[in-house]
Amino acid sequence: MKKALVCGGGGFIGHHLARRLKNEGYWVRSVDLKYPEYSAKDEVDDFVIGDLRDPNVWVKILDRDFDEVYQLAADMGGAGFVFTGENDADIMHNSALINLNCLYYLKEIKFKGKVFYSSSACIYPEYKQTDPNNPGLKESDAYPAGPDSEYGWEKLFSERMYLAFNRNYRINVRIARFHNIFGPEGTYEGGREKAPAALCRKVALAKDGEEIEIWGDGEQTRSFLYIDDALEGVRKLMDSDFLGPINIGSEELISINSLAKMIMEIAGKNLKLKHISGPTGVRGRNADLTLARQKINWEPKISLRQGIEKTYHWIAEQLKKQRRI
């Protein structure tokens, strides 16, 4: 039986990944500061509550031979967390420390398996993302570097560190750049939620004819990838010989205004959009999946509309359970 360690297994992508690995027959240990918010901790074989900034935690969790380590733990959130500037020091310090520990201790135990690192589309330079009709960011667009957030700079530094440990210590790394992953069982309020979940919540809470707030003019564009497609991409990358970095995203570009309208249609509500000032990030971001098709034979299968339907209904259901709608 293969053994996998999922760091950040209490988070959105991490707990979905841990569940998938269990379904594939792996023995799974998850590690996080917290249990998953919306699923049982005993879905995995062992759930360790621990702070991955602490070296002692790494010594404890690497007590057996893992075939695969998935490093998803990071201090992160949506635009309201990452782009205000207020959390920059913590984001850089906490996430870098986790990655420094991860690689150092894998080197120390002479790790022979594969380690997956979750980088981000936020590493791409701002100057390539000024046009809402973004043609799609290729992996090679990362340099000359110029991310628009400290979150992106930490991810870029850590990507390079994973590659350096590969070159110098033969650590077998795989690096994906996730582009806006969304789906059910993700954070939808509290300040760390991302645009799709935040908009689903706003639409679900509003009564027909009311208005919902949109940060900026809403003409900023993004592409969003449904969680099941993201996990398939991660697993294909891990099973391939390609180290990455590689985009795991979608090429279906949409403006935030159009996304809000799509959610209104799904909800059967007619709402007004009230544009207010707020952190919006870059003007236009899309993924180019040419390399993913070539190297790992992967592309998304679930359309944005299908994914948003599932996500909206899940969030509306949570709000109903809390008697808020």
Tell me which residues touch ligand NAD (CB under 6 A). 8, 10-14, 32-34, 51-53, 72-76, 94, 98, 118, 120, 178, 180-181, 194
151 classed as catalytic = yes
Q: How far is the CB of 29 from ligand NAD (least distance, A)?
A: 13
How distant is the alpha carbon of residue 71 from its chain centre?
A: 12
Q: How far is the CB of 295 from ligand NAD (least distance, A)?
A: 19
| Look-up of token digits 């309201």 | 80
The sign of the dihedral angle between the CA atoms of 135, 140, 146, 151 is positive
Q: Bridge-partner residues for 235, per DSSP? A: none
CB environment 176-209: b (16+ within 10 A), e (fewer)? bbbbbbbbbbbbbeeebbbbbbbbbbbbbebeee
The answer to whether 1 and 26 are in contact (CB under 8 A) is yes
What is the three-class DSSP state of 267? helix
The answer to whether 243 and 119 are in contact (CB under 8 A) is no
d(CA 323, CA 227): 27
The residue with its CB nearest to ligand NAD is: 11
Catalytic pick among 117, 151, 188, 312 = 151
DSSP 158-187: HHHHHHHHHHHH--EEEEEEE--EE-SSS-
Q: How far is the CB of 32 from ligand NAD (least distance, A)?
A: 4
Angle CA 96–100–103, to nearest 5? 135
The sign of the dihedral angle between the CA atoms of 157, 141, 68, 186 is positive
DSSP 35-54: --SSS-GGGSSEEEE--TTS
Nearer to ligand NAD, 34 or 324 (CB): 34
User: Is residue 119 within a helix (H) or strand (E), and if so which, with residue range?
Assistant: strand 114-120
Question: Residue 17: CA atoms inside 13 Å, Cβ hemisphere, count?
Answer: 31
Q: How far is the CB of 35 from ligand NAD (least distance, A)?
A: 9
Q: How far is the CB of 76 from ligand NAD (least distance, A)?
A: 4
Q: Which residues are catalytic?
A: 151
